[in-house]
Amino acid sequence: MAERFLVGSFGEPEGLLAAVSTLRDAGVAIHDVFAPYPVHGLDQAMGIRRSRLPWITLLAGLGGLCFALAFQYYTAVFDWPLDVGGKPENSTLAFVPICFELTVLIGGLGTVGAFLLRARLFPGKREQLPVLGVTNNVFALVTPLQGEGNEAELARQIMLENGADEVEERETES
Amino acid sequence: MNRRPTCEDAAPREADGDPLVQIGLPTGTRSTGFEATRRDVLSLMGFSLGALGLGAGCRAPVQHAVPLPAASIEMVPGVPNLYATTCGACSAACGLVVKQRDGRPIKIEGNDASPLTGGGTCAAGQASVLSLYDDGRLRGPMWLGNAVSWAEVDRHIRSVLDARGRDARDVVLLSQTITSPSTRALIDELRAVFPRFRHVVYDPLSLAALREANRRAHGAAVVPHFLFDRARVVVGLDADFLGTWLAPVEHARQWAQRRTAGTDRGFHVQVESGVSVTGSNADLRLAVAPSQIGAVAVALLAAVTRRMGGDDPGSFGAAGLTQAAPHAVAIEQTAEALVRNRGEALVVCGSNDLPTQIVVAKLNAVLGSVDKTVDLAHPSLQRQGDDAALPALIDDMNRGAVHALMVWGANPVYDHPDGAAFRAALNKVALTISFADRRDETSAHVHAVCPDHHFLEAWGDAEPVSGHFSLRQPLIAPLHETRAAEESLLAWAGRTTDHRSYVRAFWKRALYKPAAGAAAPDAFDDFWERTLERGAIDLPRPPVATHAFAADLEESVREIVARANRAGGDHDGYELALQETVGARDGRHANNPWLLELPDPITRLTWGNVASIAPVTATALGVSTGDVVTLTTETGKLELPAFIQPGQHRHTISVAVGYGRWAAGKAGDGVGGNAFPLARVANGLRTTSARVTVTRTGRRARLSPAQTHFSMEGRDIVQTLALAPSEHEHEHEKLPDLWRERLHGAHAWGMSIDLDACTGCSACVVACQSENNIPVVGAEQVRKNRIMHWLRIDRYVEGDGEDAQSLHQPMMCQHCQHAPCETVCPVLATTTSSEGINQQVYNRCIGTRYCANNCPYKVRRFNWHNYTANDDFPYNMTSPLGRLVLNPDVTVRSRGVMEKCNLCVQRIQLGKNQALLQRRPMADGDVATACQQSCPTGAIVFGDLADAGSRVSKLLAGRRAYRVLDDLGTRPNVGYLKRLTREEES
Amino acid sequence: MSAGTIEPTTGAPETLPATRWIEGTPSLHRITTDISRPMEARPGRGWWICFAISSLAVLNLLGMVTYLFAKGIGIWGLNNAVGWAFDITNFVFWIGIGHAGTLISAILLLFRQKWRTSINRSAEAMTIFAVMCAGLFPLIHMGRPWDAFFIFPYFPNQRGPLWVNFRSPLVWDVFAISTYFTISLVFWYLGMIPDLATLRDRATTGIKKLVFRVLSLGWNGSQRTWSRYEIVSLVLAALATPLVLSVHSIVSTDFATSLVPGWHTTIFPPYFVAGAIYSGFGMVLTLLIITRQTMHLERYITTNHLEAMAKVILLTGSLVGYAYATEFFNAWYSGNVHERFHFINRATGPYAWCFYLMVLCNVLTPQIFWWKRARRNIPVLFVASILINVGMWFERFVIIVVGLHRNFLPSAWGMFYPTVFDVGILVGVFGLFFTLFLLFIRALPMIAMWEVKGVSHG
Amino acid sequence: MRTRGIVFGVVLLGAGGGLIARGATRIGVHQGYAPEQPIAFPHKVHAGDNQIACLYCHSGARTSRHAGIPSASVCMNCHSLIEKQTTEIQRLKEAVQQRRPIVWTKVHNLPDFVYFNHSQHVVSGVACQRCHGAVEQMDRIEQASPLTMGWCLGCHRAEAHVPTSTFTRVAANVRNRPTPFAGEDCTSCHY
């Protein structure tokens, strides 16, 4: 079934910020905010918790490190310990560069992968824009529209007070 | 042969194309080519299953195996056979053992059983196997320039020979010295057949003066057999006896035996104008102009006689030497040494100047060398040429006195100053025949060319030194429609015997002395078989009758003195000195790319000869290396690039003969310049020197040097050790090691190279090339510093005056145990084997060249191009015939891979396998590397360092042992023995 | 990176006006249109001329590489003494060029340098193209390029337990460069997603819209995504910064771990990194000066940006000069006969002219940037940036060739003379680089719109 | 629905990649290669039914690098006595009468850069079947083994008794052991 939203478009981030905080004080749930660039302070205003993606980086990086170490050790010491210039079979120091590179590579790719999954971004996904121009110069504030209208009214009120150029109701197509 | 046939090749075509298949053997030589077959492509596309369904013919590269129609006991495919034979590369006739693989000779080795050479060979001998597969050889007889059948050419020749007038005019056989007793006998028989038969002998590099001197001095016109191993003091006058003169392999062996015999090292003085291999190894080298050699001999004689308190020097007119001979001090010192070691002294002189040779004969007589170090009774039978004979012959030809002329093993048009005259005179002869194997400068102008076999296809025998015999047997059926020259002669003489039976009969008749009493009927057969197997045998020969020295010494001395004074101390002009070099020799091997690309041990130049000029002279003339100069003598004129040569006498320009052939073949034509015409035949003797004027042309030539920098830059590369009386053993300091030593297998292969015994003769370089399928890259690539030799002989020069000291150092992969090359190879293409070999895996190599960059010895060689089956490099590896010389046990490297010395690992594996087959452990000496085997002086010793008792271990533990660039911590398994420097004799 | 820090750390902000990184305050929409113009307007004559020249060079490259594969690297001037020359020189040179991009984006991001915003996109693009050019050489310099895959430890294979030699710096290179390329690419693409979305929404024609839709992964500027997005950018920056430093350190070990005199030095890693950043900024300068003129982006790529880069160049150039001096000192101080000879030969040998050219370009040229007027003078900057690139190419040439052509055994000394193929491939690769860059500025936003917006309005 | 498409694509890619990898590792591997021969010689009859020892015909295997293919004269050792006549035997006899070599097609082709020596292995007691498969059951001879380096090494390592891991090697102290028959050095096969 289609959800209904109230979408307020702003031309400037300041009004948006004010609107967001006022709405939250008024206890109006905020679905999301759409902006052409990350507006500073908005996270706090919306109360978004800091992402936990760095932990993914740590895990993936460690994974890469362990794999690199294990693989090099296995090939050079166990699988065929060839005499290379009389060097010790386990030339650990010589293994360091590749360990580092694989740590970075797998750590980085893991993080990005996790981000794309978490943010549900994938090639061919059809974008869902509250209003046209959020990728250009429009800041959109979206609140869900529940049954009772007065809260919607309140929200509309607040948005307009904080300088929303336009406030309209939208439905998700599905 | 190294190309795997694809399905397009029909089997018969393959059979024609590949002689191996013809003689019924699996195709041998291997390559690392990148050959994606159609099936590979398909399977790369992931359809390998589908591909299984394709027709068998086109699915995989089809190879064929064609067994012999009838099994042979002697020849097992893949198992090499060794046959003893006699070298035909020069008249020294060294004993050989030739490795025959799958029915074709692929490698020449010295015959240890030979009492003369004892297993050594020279560069030319090593390379002669390639001449067998030379594309330039004639495929059959020719009459008037057209290929014809033997029957036809015989008919023509017989008709002329039998024609009227033959008894009025001479039938002449012109040849170089023939050391084969059976052939000499055959020639004597011809005298009976042809009433007016004459045998004219000449040598491009003659010793006629020496023989004449001995005739006058001792009543026997012989070239003595010199015994260097019995001489503690050797004085060489213009005689490169270690490199090219007379019998270099034998001499080098004797010389080294003396030099390496413990502390009593002997003393070797070399007096010469240009730098020769011999000179570069002398303890004392005196640069002297050719015109002054005689004067030096006289001065030496004077000094010696004075010391011996014999007749007063004045008595033979040495006093008349107004201008003191050069190097007075050194001569006194030398005389002192000679006198102190009289009876163990030896003076050899290569000069073809009669008075000088008489003085030298006197010297040897005075010093009591005769019958001790100079054997006149059983002389050498080489260089029997008569310098006066050829000019006389030319006159006879022009007078029309010659009915038929047969030229055998000689090329006078090229290698004689009167060559042009000879060529013209050929037209005055009713019938001219040549036995040459190609249409060379001479045979191109004769009526009939009756190509002789290559010596590896022929029967024969040789007696290079009276009493020392050796047999020759064919290693392969004649490749072409050739016929032994002896057989041709026999045929024209109306005899039908084949050569083999002739030789055999001769030995039975003339040489075989049945053991007294019990003469079993088949005794000779045994004798024959045993001799064939052994290759060489000594048989008693009646000694040549000689008498004590009785020549007119005064006259000779007077002449020398007069000449020396005429030349004067202050040379107004320059003198030319013709030299023989180890690669080119007298030019008969000129089409052999191995020899053309062999860097001369002295100049380190390949592909051509130069005019060697002393540094001071070069400055005076304003020329530098590479400037083309014109050398003009009264007999000829030659343009050659100049080469600045420290050690060269300042008034002498040295030029190597043997280059400048114009009808040698594809490889040899037009390489360098022909210097033979520059010297003339003067009063019955061929000279090797002349007055010469040098003029700059202003042009520059592009040389192809294998080495461009000769200074050691004060680094400890070639180390020397003063021969001190105190023989204290010093222990080698062990360098600290960062790492725990790696575990090794049962062996640790290593090599020791004695820099005191190595003469730089370069036999090992060619041996290595022949054993390891090393490609020839040509002058252009050598110029780009891309020569492929795995084993090179570096030459370092100390000083740039006439007393400059040369040092030779064989340099190949040092098989480091801490190899810098291995650590940097990304794909593990080079690693250390469990037996200490630095192994290079061609098929794994991707060619980053990092290893070569990181090799401090710069011994790694990269295949910059595809050198096989590539028309840009038209040498033996590109011709189907030439590829027959390749060693089937060694991979032929493809373009883009690194290669280098691997200590002849194929020989090591063979040795291990033989030990395995015989169920015994390996013994020291089971394996000899190609370089070691070929070395006439035994300077190279290969063996197992893990076995403390092995020769190499002992040598490398000695006080002379050291490793090159040891301070880099590379831990080489190849070590060197320091060259010994002689303290002043006093 | 103090040279890059523009906000005055001392003195009161109000006395010193903060540096303006964008001329005026264009509206958000204006920014979008300005930056999208190069992609939507028809290219000018300048672009076409550059493109024609560079694509000709690419054709030449194709031809020569084909011939190279057919004939073998014997067509180059390499020989037994000098096994590496133009090939590895070019490789190291391009890797070096590839350093400024990630450095500008990553390190300056960590340092919160606002001035990066206008130039990081094109700098990153440059990095990617430079690494592509560099990556060409390890392949074509091989004797048997068709076996290049041997260098990867892959499974399954036919040869059983034989892997690769992890002790070899060349294998380190393989990992370092592929990692560097991948991470840079990801970083670049990630940073572009919001702009791609902008373009998607501006796109009129269907095909364009489709392409940008696929590329922009359905980005819709949701604040929740933005906040994660910023975290990820920071993380990537944090990873990329040591990566940048590691890559050229590893490349330098190709030489430092060998025992060739002149290669075998411990200062190589920092020395190479400094040199890489130096040459990288030089190339960025060259490119930006050209593009801001031809694409009329002076408003966004201001003289302040150029000056900031000039300061970085001054710093790194001086570092490089210091390294040169150190090398000579070490050679003398070591007392090692081979080392000493190498550096005497470097300064007096047959290749001395390369050495002095290198000193002139790399040590003397940047000193002019002590003067503010020089730092802000476009022609001076341009000439200097060119000289710097020439100098850095010769630095690698001197290190490699002079090190090889005369080392331990004098008997093995030789010379290197380039052939037409050496030079042709050198030129061709420059062509490849510029072709790619020219296509980039036409096809993708060469300035990060969303970041500029953030800087100008945030 | 779109996600399912993506999953499908990924699976397709994986499968394709796997197939290519599998094919790539088979380049130059001709296991199962059984070409037609000029004379349809049944090893089954000779080595199998009649129990003729391999080395009787392939005598080279004992002494040489090449096992060798017997000369027709060797065939005639028996066939001159055997009454049985077939067209194939007829062909053989013609070849012998005309002393015409028979051009067999080689089945086991090692790359040119590999040195393999039969005698080494035969003497060390490696059974022919170990590499050539159950020849005595083959009518037309076929390549039974992959003949890849990995395959060779498998056997060499088993036979070499050289412990491959450092620790066991140190324990066994390889230095004091004689060289193993089956070498593990590159130069055991490549030179």
Note the pLDDT of residue D96. 87
* Chain A touching partners, 3 or more CB pairs below 8 A: B, C, D
Per-residue pLDDT band for B30 (boundaries 50, 70, 90) equals: very low
What separation in angstroms does the CA of B122 have from each of B760, B761, B979?
Answer: 11, 7, 22
User: Does residue D73 belong to the interface with chain C, where contact is any CB pair within 8 Å?
Assistant: no
- HSE toward the beta carbon, residue B788, CA cutoff 13 A: 31
Residues 6 or more apart whose Cβ sits within 8 Å of residue C62:
C428
This model of the complex carries an ipTM of: 0.91
- 3-state class (DSSP) for residue C174: helix
Question: What percent of chain B clears pLDDT 70, i.e. is strictly above it?
Answer: 89
Section B204-231 average pLDDT: 93
Section B200-229 average pLDDT: 93
* Residue B260 in this model has a pLDDT that exceeds 90: no
DSSP β-ladder status, B267-272 and B284-287: parallel
Q: Is the peptide bond before C156 cis (omega within 30 degrees of 0)?
A: yes
CB-nearest to C183 from A98, A104, A123 is A104
* Residue B249 in this model has a pLDDT that exceeds 90: yes
- HSE toward the beta carbon, residue B827, CA cutoff 13 A: 24
CB-nearest to D186 from B45, B79, B841 is B841
- CB atoms under 10 Å from CB of D15, counted, come to 11
Rounded Cα gap, residues B957 and D26, in angstroms:
51
Amino acid identity, position B930:
A
pLDDT digits (tens, 9 = 90+) for D104-122: 999 998 888 999 999 888 8
The closest alpha carbon to B592, from B771, B436, B770, belongs to B770
Note the pLDDT of residue B263. 65
In degrees, to the nearest 5, what angle opens at C-alpha B227 toward C-alphas B224 and B232? 130
Note the pLDDT of residue B166. 60
User: Does residue A122 belong to the interface with chain D, where contact is any CB pair within 8 Å?
Assistant: yes
Phi/psi for B489 (5° steps) reads: -60, -45
User: Are A26 and A81 contained in the same domain?
Assistant: no
User: Does residue A77 belong to the interface with chain D, where contact is any CB pair within 8 Å?
Assistant: yes
Which burial class, exposed, middle or buried, applies to B949 when counting CB atoms under 10 A from its CB (0-12, 13-18, 19+)? exposed
Note the pLDDT of residue B632. 94
D120 against B164, higher pLDDT: D120
Rounded Cα gap, residues C323 and C345, in angstroms:
18
- 3-state class (DSSP) for residue B319: helix
Q: Point out which residues pair with B81 in neighbouring strands.
A: B100
By the 8 A CB rule, do B64 and B57 touch? no
User: Does residue D77 belong to the interface with chain B, where contact is any CB pair within 8 Å?
Assistant: no
pLDDT under 70: residue ranges of chain C: 1-20, 458
By the 8 A CB rule, do C363 and C337 touch? no
* Residue B529 in this model has a pLDDT that exceeds 60: yes
Task: Determine whether the interchain pair A87/B823 forms a contact, defined as Cβ–Cβ distance below 8 Å.
Answer: yes
By the 8 A CB rule, do B454 and B131 touch? yes
Note the pLDDT of residue B792. 96
Of A80-89, B760-769, C16-25, C293-302, the poorest mean pLDDT is in C16-25
Q: Which residue of D has its CA nearest to B65?
A: D104
User: Does residue D29 belong to the interface with chain C, where contact is any CB pair within 8 Å?
Assistant: yes
CB-nearest to A89 from D2, D6, D166 is D166
Q: Point out which residues pair with B681 in neighbouring strands.
A: B686
Rounded Cα gap, residues B182 and B186, in angstroms:
6
In degrees, to the nearest 5, what angle opens at C-alpha C361 toward C-alphas C360 and C367? 85
User: Does residue C40 belong to the interface with chain A, where contact is any CB pair within 8 Å?
Assistant: no
The closest alpha carbon to C232, from A116, B422, A111, B877, belongs to A111
Note the pLDDT of residue B7. 31
Note the pLDDT of residue B785. 95
User: Are A79 and A23 contained in the same domain?
Assistant: no
Q: Point out which residues pair with B631 in neighbouring strands.
A: B638, B694
Rounded Cα gap, residues A127 and C222, in angstroms:
11
Q: Which residue of C has its CA nearest to B809?
A: C411
Reported in sequence order, the residue ranges of C87-240 that DSSP labels E, i.e. its strands, are none
pLDDT digits (tens, 9 = 90+) for B619-677: 999 999 999 999 999 989 999 999 999 999 999 999 999 999 999 999 999 999 999 99
Q: Which residue has the tokens 């060798």?
A: D68
Note the pLDDT of residue B731. 56
* Residue B26 in this model has a pLDDT that exceeds 50: no
Phi/psi for B461 (5° steps) reads: -150, 175
| Chain centroid, CA B890 distance in Å | 24
Residues 6 or more apart whose Cβ sits within 8 Å of residue B649:
B273, B274, B287, B288, B289, B614, B802
Q: Chain-wide mean pLDDT for chain B?
A: 87
Residues 6 or more apart whose Cβ sits within 8 Å of residue C425:
C61, C64, C65, C68, C86, C90, C140
- CB atoms under 10 Å from CB of A70, counted, come to 11
Rounded Cα gap, residues A113 and C189, in angstroms:
13
User: Are A85 and A114 contained in the same domain?
Assistant: yes
In this structure, what token pair is assigned to residue B210?
């020496």
| Chain centroid, CA C3 distance in Å | 19
Q: Which residue has the tokens 């092995």?
A: B950
Task: Determine whether the interchain pair C224/A133 forms a contact, defined as Cβ–Cβ distance below 8 Å.
Answer: no
Rounded Cα gap, residues A58 and B928, in angstroms:
60
For residue D169, which residues of chain A lie inside 8 Å, CB to CB? 81
Q: Which residue of C has its CA nearest to A54?
A: C235
Task: Determine whether the interchain pair A40/C458 forms a contact, defined as Cβ–Cβ distance below 8 Å.
Answer: yes
pLDDT digits (tens, 9 = 90+) for C78-125: 999 999 999 999 999 999 999 888 887 888 888 877 778 888 888 899
| Torsion on CA atoms C246, C249, C251, C257, rounded to nearest 10 | -130
In degrees, to the nearest 5, what angle opens at C-alpha B115 toward C-alphas B113 and B119? 50
* Residue A108 in this model has a pLDDT that exceeds 70: yes
* Residue A77 in this model has a pLDDT that exceeds 60: yes
Rounded Cα gap, residues C16 and B104, in angstroms:
93
Note the pLDDT of residue B569. 52
* Residue D174 in this model has a pLDDT that exceeds 70: no
Q: Chain-wide mean pLDDT for chain D?
A: 83
What domain count does chain A have? 2
User: Does residue D30 belong to the interface with chain B, where contact is any CB pair within 8 Å?
Assistant: yes
Q: Which residue has the tokens 């030779």?
A: B808
pLDDT digits (tens, 9 = 90+) for A17-56: 888 888 888 888 888 899 998 888 888 888 888 889 999 9
Per-residue pLDDT band for A4 (boundaries 50, 70, 90) equals: confident
By the 8 A CB rule, do B774 and B768 touch? yes
User: Are A57 and A79 contained in the same domain?
Assistant: yes
User: Are A61 and A146 contained in the same domain?
Assistant: no
CB-nearest to A85 from B740, B741, B822 is B822
Domain containing residue A150: 4-50+127-171
Domain containing A17 — which CATH number?
A: 3.30.70
Amino acid identity, position D180:
P
Task: Determine whether the interchain pair D165/A78 forms a contact, defined as Cβ–Cβ distance below 8 Å.
Answer: yes
In this structure, what token pair is assigned to residue B232?
């503690």
- CB atoms under 10 Å from CB of B375, counted, come to 22
pLDDT digits (tens, 9 = 90+) for B572-623: 689 999 999 999 999 999 999 999 999 999 999 999 999 999 999 999 999 9
User: Does residue A86 belong to the interface with chain B, where contact is any CB pair within 8 Å?
Assistant: yes
CB-nearest to C162 from A13, A71, A80 is A80
Which burial class, exposed, middle or buried, applies to C388 when counting CB atoms under 10 A from its CB (0-12, 13-18, 19+)? buried
By the 8 A CB rule, do D161 and D69 touch? no
Amino acid identity, position C301:
I
Amino acid identity, position B353:
D
Per-residue pLDDT band for A133 (boundaries 50, 70, 90) equals: confident
Section A131-144 average pLDDT: 87
C14 against B950, higher pLDDT: B950
Domain ranges of chain C: 60-159+258-453
By the 8 A CB rule, do C96 and C389 touch? no
Rounded Cα gap, residues B134 and A68, in angstroms:
57
Global pTM?
Answer: 0.91
